[in-house]
Amino acid sequence: MSEATKERVRAAAEQLGYAGPDPRAASLRRGRSGIVGVLLEDRLADAFRDPINIAMLDGIAEETGAVGAGLLLLTESGTELANVTAAPMDAAILIACSTRLDESVARLRQRGLPLVAIEADDIDGVLAIGLDNREATARGAQHLRELGHSRVAVVALPIETGGASGPLPRDWDERATSFTALERLRGARDVFGSFDGWIADGSTIEAGYEAAMALLSSERIPRPTAIIAQSDLVAIGVIRAARQLRLSVPEDLSVLGFDGIDIAEEYELTTLVQPAQLKGRAAGRAVVELLAGGFPEPVGFTCELRIGATTGPAPS
């Protein structure tokens, strides 16, 4: 096209007040909107309070951003089911969703969207990005056992959406719908058989504090010598509760975390370090491949046990 013509077109567009090609029309015709949905279980503030989720999201953004796709945040709460149905996205990434029963996931599948799930049950047609939650927790538990601990308690992440915090029910294996929490519980059981536990209100320091207070000052159950926390934030809360109760860590109480977030290093937390950003990147890359018509393989990541200063020999 000649430069003069270009200019003439530009001028005409200007005069007519043409605001540029309408993305809506383009996406209808092309069948692509350039949007990848990210479905989060929690409400936004909760989801982003945990550095793990942020790292994952960042990994996702890195890969999807590279092909010019935007990230649409979707939460399952309330009226937003409409959102899941009506959002013009090309694919979706499910983060920590209870995929088994969930209605929104069903809708997404029904729409025929390529789906990638991070840490979820295997589902037909949904590409899984996994983490060895169970084995990793077992490894951490084994570490505690080797230190002589036998009376351990678990502070679990919420095991079902909308569930309240409180003592971990005996039948958690049947009741839990949150995949990650469930797998980590199983890992603890693999080593210790049965144990007491408390469900925290989320992956936050405060929730960990509350839970540990309940566990450590209960008259109903004997005080554990070690606590397996299902996240580092929770573990930090546990440590604070112990301090509050004048228990020293690790002399009186050993604390095991999960995640390996930055702040855990300051506390010299013994924890299971997971590659959160890589997980996100893998999910992002999988989505990109799926959209390009490829057939990406499921990916599984493993955690590394990092021994810090919060676990020690069981008190005699």
Over the window 63 to 102, marking each residue x when it contacts a copy of itself by CB under 8 A and - when it does not, the resulting string is --xx-xxxxxxxx-xxxx-xx-xxxxx-------------
302, interface contact from DNA, a copy of itself, none, CB < 5-8 Å by kind: none
The two structure tokens encoding residue 262? 């930055």
Binding at 147: pick from DNA, a copy of itself, none (beta carbon under 5-8 Å per type): none
Query: In whole angstroms, what is the distance from residue 29 CA to residue 46 CA?
Result: 37
Beta strand 35-40 with 91-95 is parallel
Cα separation, 287 vs 64, in Å, equals 8
Q: Which does 5 bind (CB under 5 to 8 A by kind): DNA, a copy of itself, none?
A: DNA
- The rounded distance, in Å, linking the Cα atoms of 58 and 276 is 9
Tokens linked to 240: 């604070």
The interface with DNA within residues 4-23 (CB under 7 A) comprises 5, 18, 20-22
| Least spacing, CB of residue 45 vs a copy of itself, in Å | 4
Residues 59-88 that bind DNA (CB under 7 A): none
- Closest by CA to 192, choosing from 139, 236, 259, is 139
Per CB under 8 A, 164 contacts a copy of itself: no
**What is the full DSSP assignment across 177-221?**
--HHHHHHHHHHHHHHSS-EEEE-SSSSHHHHHHHHHHHHT-SSS
CB 274 within 8 A of CB 303: yes
CA proximity to 111, closest of 83, 79, 130: 83
User: Would you count residue 54 as binding a copy of itself (CB under 8 A)?
Assistant: yes
Ranges within 96-135 binding a copy of itself (CB under 8 A): 107, 110-112
Residue 73 burial (CB < 10 Å; 0-12/13-18/19+)? middle
Range in contact with a copy of itself (rule: CB under 8 A) among 51-59, 179-187, 247-255, 304-312: 51-59
Residue 226's closest CA among 310, 101, 291, 286? Answer: 310
Q: Containing H/E element for 129? A: strand 126-131
Binders in 24-43 for a copy of itself, by CB under 8 A: 24-28, 31, 33-35, 37, 43
Q: Find, among 248, 237, 243, 254, the residue nearest to 165 by Cα.
A: 237
- Tell me if 11 contacts a copy of itself by CB under 8 A: no
Distance separating alpha carbons of residues 315 and 205, to the nearest angstrom: 26
Q: Which is nearer to a copy of itself, 101 or 263 (CB)?
A: 263
Q: Is 26 in the site for DNA (CB under 7 A)?
A: yes
Quote the CA–CA distance of 125 and 173 in Å, as a whole number: 25
Q: How many residues bind a copy of itself (CB under 8 A)?
A: 51
Among residues 83 and 99, whose Cβ is nearest to a copy of itself?
83
Nearest residue (CB) to DNA, 31 versus 193? 31
Q: Which CB atom, from 24 or from 170, has the smaller least distance to a copy of itself?
A: 24
Residue 162 touches which of DNA, a copy of itself, none (CB < 5 to 8 A by kind)? none
Binding of DNA at residue 25 (CB under 7 A)? yes
Does 246 contact DNA by CB under 7 A?
A: no
Strands across the sheet containing 226-229: 166-167, 196-199, 152-156, 226-229, 254-256
Residue 2 contacts which entry, DNA, a copy of itself, none (Cβ below 5-8 A, type-dependent) = DNA
* Cβ-contact 68, 288 below 8 angstroms: no
Residues that bind a copy of itself in the complex, under the rule CB under 8 A: 19-28, 31, 33-35, 37, 43-45, 48-49, 51, 54-55, 57-58, 61, 65-66, 68-75, 77-80, 82-83, 85-89, 107, 110-112
What are the residues binding DNA (CB under 7 A)? 1-2, 5, 18, 20-22, 25-26, 28-31
